[in-house]
Amino acid sequence: MNTDLGNYRKSYEKQELLENNVSDNPMELFQKWFHDVDENFDIGETNAMTLSTLGMDGFPKSRVVLLKKFTYEGFIFYTNYDSEKGKAIINNPNVCLSFFWPAAERQIIIKGKAEKIAENLSDGYFESRPRGSQLGALVSHQSDVIENRDILEKRLQALEKELEGQEIERPEFWGGFIIKPVEIEFWQGRPNRLHDRLRYQLDDDFNWNLDRLSP
């Protein structure tokens, strides 16, 4: 197979990103961009983000997860703590998140440190999930090798019968991580590949310093 993608080109011309139009706090700019994209562009899942970790085998690995909450403190998502990514985060909490919203010609790249959120917060979110998703969290031994899909279907059927009419409690191995950012880069596509890149970095006094990066 020899597929040449050299002619796949697009000129980015929709918007601009200038220092005099941004907040001193990158979380405020993130909120502004997120709501703008969510309300004005057909993205699908605006909260889909790529999470990159350093695996137990020494290789980096990226996968798409869903952002469930963001605050001034950081970005929260939920997973199985015993999964491949859960173990990788616990072993090395330095991670990277990235959002790519092609319809808006925007990217956001976030470096941060991950930590588990409080158990009561994980409990509250788990309770809000659809019952099928609650059961799925119990059924799947995430990242384990399985022989076939029938195994999952049979586990689900058995668990549905066992827990019929009962509330489902959050398992200890499932919960949230918060990524507390130390660096956030905002990328806005511009013509001639001269894209706007503004980078916020957190200093030792917990102040955000802003720099423009060459595209």
- As annotated, the active-site residues are 193
Cα end-to-end span (Å), the chain? 32
Rounded distance, CA 51 to CA 84, Å? 12
Q: How far is CA 54 from CA 7, 90, 147, 203, in A?
A: 33, 10, 27, 24
197 CB-side CA count, 13 A: 11
Cβ count near 204 (within 10 Å): 5
Rounded distance, CA 48 to CA 188, Å? 18
Q: Which residues contact 181 (CB under 8 A, 6 or more apart)?
A: 26, 27, 74, 75, 110, 111, 112, 202
